[in-house]
Structure 1
């Protein structure tokens, strides 16, 4: 979805988004950075998986037992399997991500003692090569950074004039938006975009601001796309509310989209240089993020800690364990 959004934000596609949406998928694939997927056998070791991940692999695909067998096991256990899977040519495959590996290691954290109690600063885990955009800068100026963050499984930090962290533009948040967010990226500042993609949805004033600026840029086709989705979303929301208005557990929906999302916000998750490795692991897993921003006590941004950085530490330790 992030690739589609970035494709629509190209200048030539903004003028005619409906035509762009009819483009061949191959056009997006040629422009999108590659996302690495590698197949592993079930008897592969965790060390092998770590080596592939640290070599740039984002998803490990592993064949598991037959679909019928696994369904029987699920029914017997009475609960869903703790991983994502897909069925292909009669065989089921499990998808393992960096988050899955980090979660597994956390469950066996005692094996690595006392390293997990060390600070991220002492372990040299803080990556200072971070992507930032100023709060008042056009959101469109961050498009290249958004594409890069998708590949590196990080986010783009939105900062103020004092380099203090305001929020983040995360691919995982954008993935719950629809095509119309391209209109917001084209017309809003980075700071306003944070409010637009927040899980509570944009305010009517913010949506109207997008409309006004689209008119000012003579992007009538993009305005038509925005209006079309707004009408579709309104009718969908009315039908949904009539069925579940009393359900307090109903998922939150973006104001400009028909997609449902979990409570994922544009707020940035922050730790400190003196935070321990295990504390940052728990923080990242609890918030379902692949990276945690590192700030000083005055909120000045200094770097980032990623799942990849965590796995590098454990891989170096595991190399010496027999």
Structure 2
């Protein structure tokens, strides 16, 4: 029965999904930043398309990646970009795209749920699936050459619309029919060997700048960085999901603050004024005047606007309204224990709209971390060895 369930088409998961907005591969980092702020989404998809002819083939239009505020922040943390952030923002968007292949994969709507799970296990964060549309041929042709007036608005790609499928979508779909996989969901995460026992961590008093590479990696692997004290006890986290709800000035905070202070700077409620002033004074000390100017400029412009993170299903969370609040801006990490059941951890992750859960002992010393990808490996095991389709591609 479980094998039959995994053979269902991914189109079943796409019902009600909105069409992706996008920006072209020719855009700049500034264009991507503007699109992120304007749309209120955590991701913006990047497409390499040929819209020059109505006769263009569907295969001429491909999503080649996605950009998030985390990408912008890590990009600005580079030494040369800290010296001249305004110039860095004029760089091509290709400089933002992670060099890891397969983070975004195209999948046809008739593909099976099993194929989707295989792609996620291989490292895909998002699956790009065409939306079955009733657009007439006339309407489609009318839109083919109609380009948006500004980046970030186009949803049609050679007459087709696409949506994201995320790891959360797949896990939620499995949970809705969890009885099919009985007794697997009732087993503990420890017995299922689903705990990653080598998580990324940093001591709270260490410079946050020392984990910039970890921040990029945690974003790619859909994990987080644990902030710890003595005995490797978890006291907080630096989450890419939380950073995604910040703005580009978080790069200044990463450059100047300790891990513990950064955690306070980006968490629920927005940055405390004393930490904002500390960041500014340390930027002056480091002679990073251009970054300080950018920070002042953003501070002024944000007085009349809310946080850039207003909605999103792409990261696995949604905002709770205006201002700084979102479920991702939590003040404490979400934890479970080695004896927790698989289904309990799934429910916990979905309730908190998080793609990972920290696993700790009673004293909060870290055991490891459980991710959606690791959970999906367990469900994938019931279907046996994967038969890889011929000619499959990753983007």
**TM-score for the superposition, normalised by structure 2:** 0.69
Q: How many residues align?
A: 288
Q: In the alignment, is residue 177 of structure 1 matched against residue 238 of structure 2?
A: no
Q: In the alignment, is residue 4 of structure 1 matched against residue 72 of structure 2?
A: yes
More helix by percentage: 1
Structure 1 residue matching 2:196: 3-state secondary structure: coil
Look up the match of 2:382.
Answer: 317
| 1:37–1:59 contact (8 Å) kept in structure 2 | yes
CA distance in 2, matches of 1:235, 1:12: 31
Map residues 35-46 of structure 1 onto 2, 5 A cutoff: 36-46=103-113
Structure 2 residue matching 1:93: 3-state secondary structure: strand
Q: In the alignment, is residue 16 of structure 1 matched against residue 84 of structure 2?
A: yes
CA shift, 1:199, in A, is: 2.6
Look up the match of 1:75.
Answer: none
CA distance in 2, matches of 1:35, 1:196: 32
CA shift, 1:57, in A, is: 2.0
CA shift, 1:291, in A, is: 0.6
CA shift, 1:45, in A, is: 1.4
Q: In the alignment, is residue 202 of structure 1 matched against residue 271 of structure 2?
A: yes
CA distance in 2, matches of 1:152, 1:236: 31
| 2:242–2:266 contact (8 Å) kept in structure 1 | yes
Distance 1:67 1:147, change over 3 A: farther
Q: In the alignment, is residue 156 of structure 1 matched against residue 225 of structure 2?
A: yes
Structure 2 residue matching 1:317: 3-state secondary structure: helix
CA shift, 1:185, in A, is: 0.4
User: Residue 54 of structure 1: which of 116, 121, 129 is its match?
Assistant: 121
Q: In the alignment, is residue 217 of structure 1 matched against residue 282 of structure 2?
A: no
- The 4+ residue runs of structure 1 with deviation greater than 3 A are 31-35, 260-263
Look up the match of 2:211.
Answer: 142
Distance 1:232 1:175, change over 3 A: same
User: Residue 281 of structure 1: which of 304, 325, 346 is its match?
Assistant: 346
Structure 2 residue matching 1:229: 3-state secondary structure: helix
Look up the match of 1:66.
Answer: 133
CA shift, 1:143, in A, is: 0.3
CA shift, 1:144, in A, is: 0.5
Distance 1:33 1:234, change over 3 A: same
Q: Deviations over 1:129-158 (max 9, x none)?
A: 211111000111110001111111111111
Look up the match of 1:106.
Answer: 175
CA shift, 1:67, in A, is: 6.0
CA shift, 1:263, in A, is: 5.6
Look up the match of 2:159.
Answer: 90
Map residues 259-274 of structure 1 onto 2, 5 A cutoff: 261=326, 264-274=329-339
Q: In the alignment, is residue 306 of structure 1 matched against residue 374 of structure 2?
A: no
Unpaired stretches in structure 1, ≥5 consecutive residues? 70-84, 238-248, 255-259
| 1:39–1:62 contact (8 Å) kept in structure 2 | yes
Unpaired stretches in structure 2, ≥5 consecutive residues? 1-68, 137-153, 307-318, 386-395
**TM-score for the superposition, normalised by structure 1:** 0.84
Q: Deviations over 1:114-133 (max 9, x none)?
A: 11111100111111121111
CA shift, 1:32, in A, is: 4.8
CA shift, 1:312, in A, is: 0.6
CA shift, 1:220, in A, is: 1.1
Q: Deviations over 1:261-302 (max 9, x none)?
A: 456325211000000000000000000111100000110001
CA distance in 1, matches of 2:279, 2:221: 30
Tell me whether 280-289 or 157-166 shows the greater mean CA deviation: 157-166
| 1:170–1:266 contact (8 Å) kept in structure 2 | no
Q: In the alignment, is residue 253 of structure 1 matched against residue 320 of structure 2?
A: no
CA distance in 2, matches of 1:124, 1:235: 49
CA shift, 1:35, in A, is: 5.3
CA distance in 2, matches of 1:67, 1:182: 44
CA distance in 1, matches of 2:285, 2:193: 49
| 2:254–2:262 contact (8 Å) kept in structure 1 | yes
CA distance in 2, matches of 1:297, 1:290: 22
CA shift, 1:26, in A, is: 2.5
